[in-house]
């Protein structure tokens, strides 16, 4: 059994439904089970599993306030065998990730560094919506015949969430048997202007 923690970006409900619809297409067209097993999210950071969620939440809430800004999707891409709906480059998002890392990484310094490192072997941390593991190793060109282009999706409201994943089937086929829960969400603040 492997237990993983990820800080993820979760979208508003209308965007969530579009991401889940795209994943459903990947399942119906290619049988990708991994497309069905996780919530709609952008994986930002892998966090040491021994750090309690309440400490992570308190650290983030006390350390900085983050405003909403416009996030827009780009295109389907494959990163290390996983399929993503890429996000367009956004300075505000890069800054947010850097700030989260700055405040959360020190929490791991007092932890046992000899413990198994987790996260990257499950799916890569990438600035895009995780869609599925490329279980059949099809090229994007092969998949493009049947995979619909969702077009550019834009949203300004989102949440930082802590996603806890328990994997029972082994990391190589993690999608076959897992449980997940969102321990907390911190919603972005409303803004009166757009940040690019």
In this predicted structure, the answer to whether residue 193 has a pLDDT above a threshold of 60 is no
Please state the φ and ψ torsions of residue 144, each to the nearest 5 degrees.
-60, -20
pLDDT above 70: percentage of residues in the chain? 87
- How many Cβ atoms are within 10 Å of 110's Cβ, its own excluded? 10
- C-alpha angle with apex 187: 90 to 63, nearest 5 degrees? 80
In this predicted structure, the answer to whether residue 140 has a pLDDT above a threshold of 80 is no
DSSP-assigned letters across all residues of 101-148? HHHHGGGGTTS-TTSPP-STTTS---SEEEEEE-TT---HHHHHTTSP
Q: What is the per-residue pLDDT for 116?
A: 42
Q: What is the per-residue pLDDT for 102?
A: 84
Over residues 117-137, the pLDDT tens digits come to 444 458 889 999 999 998 887
144-181 residues labelled b (16+ CB within 10 A) or e (exposed): eeebeebeebebebbbbbbbbbebeeeeeebbeebeee
**Cβ contact 33:27 at 8 Å:** yes
Mean pLDDT over the full length of the chain:
83
Q: Which two tokens stand for residue 133?
A: 């593991």
Over residues 56-80, the pLDDT tens digits come to 888 888 776 777 789 999 989 989 8
Sheet holding 159-167, edge to edge: 42-47, 2-10, 159-167, 178-187
56-65, 102-111, 141-150, 158-167: which has the highest mean pLDDT?
A: 158-167
Q: Which two tokens stand for residue 129?
A: 């919506």
Rounded CA-CA distance 189/196 in Å is: 16
Higher local confidence (pLDDT), 57 or 165: 165
Among 64, 55, 71, CA closest to 100: 64
Q: What is the per-residue pLDDT for 117?
A: 44
In this predicted structure, the answer to whether residue 105 has a pLDDT above a threshold of 80 is no
Q: What is the mean pLDDT of residues 2-14?
A: 92
Q: pLDDT grade, residue 143 (50/70/90)?
A: confident
Rounded CA-CA distance 27/33 in Å is: 6
Domains of the chain plus CATH, in order, are 2-187 (3.90.1140.10)
Q: What is the mean pLDDT of residues 162-175?
A: 89
Q: What is the per-residue pLDDT for 60?
A: 82
In this predicted structure, the answer to whether residue 194 has a pLDDT above a threshold of 60 is no
């Amino acid at each position: 059994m492997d237990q993983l923690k990820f800080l993820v970006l979760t979208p508003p409900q209308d965007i969530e439904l579009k991401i889940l619809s795209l994943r459903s297409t990947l399942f119906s067209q290619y049988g990708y089970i991994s497309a069905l097993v996780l919530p709609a999210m952008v994986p930002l950071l892998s966090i040491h599993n021994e750090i309690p969620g309440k400490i992570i939440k308190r650290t983030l809430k006390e350390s900085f306030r983050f405003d909403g800004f416009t996030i827009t999707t780009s295109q389907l891409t494959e990163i290390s065998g996983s399929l993503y709906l890429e996000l367009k480059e956004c300075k505000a998002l890069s800054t947010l990730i850097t700030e989260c890392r700055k405040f959360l990484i020190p929490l791991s310094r007092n932890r046992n560094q000899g413990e198994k490192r987790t996260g990257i072997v499950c799916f890569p941390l990438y600035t895009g919506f995780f869609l599925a593991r490329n279980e059949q190793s099809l090229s994007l060109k092969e998949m493009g015949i049947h995979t619909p282009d969702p077009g550019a999706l834009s949203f300004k409201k989102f949440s930082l969430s802590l996603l806890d994943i328990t994997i029972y089937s082994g990391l190589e086929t993690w999608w076959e048997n897992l449980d997940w829960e969102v321990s907390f969400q911190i919603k972005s603040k409303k803004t009166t202007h757009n940040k690019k």
